[in-house]
Structure 1
Amino acid sequence: MNTATPTTGLRLADVTLTYPDGASRLTALDRASLSVPAGTMTAVVGPSGSGKSSLLAVAATLVTPDSGRVTIAGTDTGGLSRADLTALRRTRIGLVFQQPSLLPSLTACEQLQVMAHLDGRGARKERARALDMLDAVGLADQAGRRPHQLSGGQRQRVNIARALMNDPAVLLVDEPTSALDHEHGAAVIGLITTLTRERSTATVLVTHDRSLLGAADAVTEVRDGRLGAPSRGGPSGAVPDVSG
């Protein structure tokens, strides 16, 4: 039996983030700490304005916190230059937004190849990889279709495949089922869960949908910028009350 400790893909330690608010400052995150091992998914829940979006922005290194540390796959991001942070985001962080924001003129395969192009990799080899990724999300037969030819669930699957194109260590997912019905939403979450395991990503899922929390390994609630202690996810885990 393997008793090795899972590698931590994402770690936030005592992160505080404030924004100007007139003559004072608004605290978006208040000494927030979060640890997500590789190959697991943590769901983050909480009411609107509680700090969920700020948490994702800091974890994605899009916003620099006032204090605290953000570590991605063992790399402390605090001392990195802007160019190094851009490279880290491109190669080690995958982002899945509420709306797929696919480029209307590109096919599903080309949407993924853009990621390889931005990283300076050869087009022919990366077309093969893009096709493999589309196959992994069940869209091998849709590779030549453009966004308007795909359903909402299919567009979100392309979005997920694009986020995973560069084998990120961390996958950050923001309300991926908000525009989908229950059946398609459940299928998307099932896909994210499977890919998290298979590709050993440290996945953070922000959601308002309580029915999705059973898929997570851990669930943590954020209120007024403060993260609560994580509870165990899965069907038998305690699920926080996130109403209000």
Structure 2
Amino acid sequence: MSLTLDDITLTYPDGDGRLTALDGVGLRVPAGTTTAVVGPSGSGKSSLLAVAATLVAPDRGRVLVGGTETGALTSAERAVLRRREIGIVFQQPNLLPSLTALEQLQVMGHLDGRRQVSLRARELLAEVGLGDLAHRRPHQLSGGQRQRVNIARALVNEPSVLLVDEPTSALDRERGTAVFDLLLRLTRERATATVLVTHDRARLGEADAVREMRDGRLGTPVAVPGAE
């Protein structure tokens, strides 16, 4: 299932006028591919993710998850679509301190009324390399391990779209590389349409496409040195 943003414009109140956060943005991400989005702070990257996640409605344009135009849905229907079809990996893991790694995933599955979520949660933790750490709480995990729990939690409901916000910003290069590689692998294996906002240009050559945001506009695909 692909993700499509078609001619998206988003504005916010700014004094007596309005500030344009997104200006005619168009983006299509096929299933099983990763599009990396780069750009300076304040360029509109976070707004792009918020609109793609259906958390913010644009002033103009369409967001399609597969063949579903999300703007035509009620707020309740969009909430269901987010829960079932859109996984979000936040910059900070925001794990619940009292829950184990396994329980972090189980909560997400139970919210969607899924059965046998414990088995799926264990499988996902093993897939991200944390099978032996399922019963550890966040304070017992490293920063890279917490981010892996964050990724697994976003995938527990088998989303078709994965939105990732600066997943390596708080990690050193070695752990950041491991998380980046993990996201690329899971995208291919699970056929998600992944949008990865990142400031780290070192691994961009491994993404399927790279787009740069400036002043609310999304440029044409960027050529990355070292990419084939």
TM-score range, shorter chain: over 0.9
> Partner letter of residue 53 of structure 2?
A
> Partner letter of residue 51 of structure 1?
G
> Partner letter of residue 203 of structure 1?
T
Per the normalisation by structure 1, the TM-score is 0.91
Could you tell me whether the CA contact under 8 Å between 1:107 and 1:144 is conserved in 2? Answer: yes
Could you tell me whether the CA contact under 8 Å between 2:130 and 2:145 is conserved in 1? Answer: yes
Question: C-alpha offsets along residues 122-176 of structure 1, whole Å, 9 cap, x if unaligned?
Answer: 3xx1111100000110100000100000000000000000000011010000000
Counterpart check, 1:203 vs 2:208: no
- Secondary structure of residue in 2 paired with 1:210: coil
- Secondary structure of residue in 2 paired with 1:192: helix
Counterpart check, 1:73 vs 2:66: yes
Question: C-alpha offsets along residues 212-243 of structure 1, whole Å, 9 cap, x if unaligned?
Answer: 21221100001010000123668325xxxxxx
**What pairs with 1:147-162 in structure 2 (closer than 5 Å)?**
147-162=138-153
Cα distance in 2, alignment partners of residues 167 and 183 from structure 1: 28
Could you tell me whether the CA contact under 8 Å between 1:116 and 1:166 is conserved in 2? Answer: yes
Runs of 4+ in 1 over 4 A off after TM superposition: none
Structure 1 vs Structure 2 CA RMSD: 1.1
What is residue 4 of structure 1 aligned with on the other side? none
What is residue 10 of structure 1 aligned with on the other side? 3
Cα distance in 2, alignment partners of residues 66 and 223 from structure 1: 19
Rate the CA distance shift 1:234–1:82 in 2: closer, same or farther, 3 A: farther
Give aligned-pair identity as a percent: 70
Could you tell me whether the CA contact under 8 Å between 2:212 and 2:222 is conserved in 1? Answer: no
What is residue 241 of structure 1 aligned with on the other side? none
Counterpart check, 1:192 vs 2:183: yes
Unaligned runs of 5+ in 1: 1-6, 238-244
Cα distance in 1, alignment partners of residues 82 and 56 from structure 2: 12
Instruction: State the shift of 1:200 in Å.
Output: 0.1
Counterpart check, 1:28 vs 2:21: yes
Rate the CA distance shift 1:43–1:185 in 2: closer, same or farther, 3 A: same
What is residue 170 of structure 1 aligned with on the other side? 161
Cα distance in 1, alignment partners of residues 9 and 122 from structure 2: 41
Counterpart check, 1:135 vs 2:89: no
Cα distance in 1, alignment partners of residues 66 and 130 from structure 2: 29
Cα distance in 2, alignment partners of residues 73 and 110 from structure 1: 30
Cα distance in 2, alignment partners of residues 34 and 233 from structure 1: 18
Cα distance in 1, alignment partners of residues 190 and 67 from structure 2: 17
> Partner letter of residue 105 of structure 2?
L
Query: Out of 78, 90, 95, which is 1:97 matched to?
Result: 90
Cα distance in 2, alignment partners of residues 200 and 235 from structure 1: 25
Unaligned runs of 5+ in 2: none
- Secondary structure of residue in 1 paired with 2:55: coil
Per the normalisation by structure 2, the TM-score is 0.97
Question: C-alpha offsets along residues 54-89 of structure 1, whole Å, 9 cap, x if unaligned?
Answer: 000000000000000000122110110000010010
Instruction: State the shift of 1:120 in Å.
Output: 1.4
- Secondary structure of residue in 1 paired with 2:63: strand
